[in-house]
A and B are shown apart, each in its own frame.
Chain A
Amino acid sequence: MTAFFAFVCVFLALTALVASEAEEVLSAVISLSVFGVLMAMVFVILQAPDVALTQAVINSGLVTSFFLVAYSQTQKPNLLEQKQDIGDGQ
């Protein structure tokens, strides 16, 4: 059990580093989602099932969608081009 726990902890630190150092904001957000799932696994190993359930639902589902909405807000030109392409296709 300890070896598995150490493996999860190393992976957790790696995903946190990627979320911190990635150039693209989108990669950092997806890495943060993986970080949340791994944190839920850590909570299960630490015998806290309630906290693990909350962490899995909120930090990898809700927070990620909040980040994606706010990120797409700052990318308006791309969205506009995409919509125009669709309009031309029709």
Chain B
Amino acid sequence: MGLLLLCLGIGWWLWKGVAAMEDPEFIIGPAAYYIINTAEETGAANIVAAILFDYRGIDTLGEASVIYTTVCGVAMLFSKSKYKRSSAGLSFIARRGVSFLVPFLLLYGSTIILMGHMTPGGGFQGGAVFATVTILLCIVFGSSFEMSRIKPKTKETIESLGGLFFVFLGGVGLLAGAGFLANTAAGFPRGQVGNFLSAGAIPLLNIAVGMKVGAGLSTIFYSMVRVLELEFGEQMSEVEGNDKN
């Protein structure tokens, strides 16, 4: 009861803070500058993508390294487990249905990544769609199928390549003398706003982040599933041993 009153008190305190705010009619601060100058400076039609990968690119690099740290943490927690037994997977109808759906899902994910500088989307969303596809394969076909098609080593390589590609694109700006992660100032072509080939390095950075996020989240899920199946396999062998005794 005391906890409930405490939470209600904190809520009332926060509400008193925001109730004084009016409906704003215009924007001030750095966001106004971004809205006016994005088309000229970067050539991207999606202002959020321009902020993420151009104006505040180094924040995005830090964010991508958070995912890398999480993969390392999960892998360290489950380091001693080995892969023994696969889950059985679902029925024939589910397998046929999913194998019909998977190409369209892959197309959807690549569209989100490649059109990220013109329409809503980008590397984070498209990478999450790719991770969802691998999770779907893992659930429906069983994890040994997923492991035989996309090896864990391949995922790690893709993730590392994504990170290295991001840093390399930042280093190009450094070599051109325009600063780390500089876009059009470093000589990337700006193009026409709204065209597919525009916005300089932003589509390439989208691809790098998509590789990193998709492979990273997929690896996290796969590590957790592997632990589950290991424990299950151990129990089964214990039961079989008891039967023999």
Contacts and interface: CB of A to CB of B under 8 A. Distances in A.
A and B touch in their complex, CB below 8 angstroms: yes
Nearest to B128: A57
15 contacts: A49-B120, A50-B46, A50-B121, A52-B120, A54-B124, A57-B125, A57-B132, A62-B131, A62-B135, A65-B135, A65-B139, A65-B221, A66-B220, A73-B228, A76-B232
A37 B235 CA distance: 38
A50 B120 contact: yes
A13 B120 CA distance: 27
Contacts, number: 58
Contacts of B106: none
B176 interface: no
B98 interface: no
Interface in A70-90: 70, 72-73, 76, 79-80, 83-84, 86
A86 B92 CA distance: 16
B147 to A, nearest CB: 16
Contact of B232 (A57, A69, A79): A79
A73 B129 CA distance: 25
* Contact count band on B: 20 to 34
A80 B124 CA distance: 38
Given A62-B128, A76-B235, 9 more contacts: A50-B49, A50-B125, A53-B125, A57-B125, A61-B128, A66-B224, A73-B228, A76-B232, A86-B88
A25 to B, nearest CB: 16
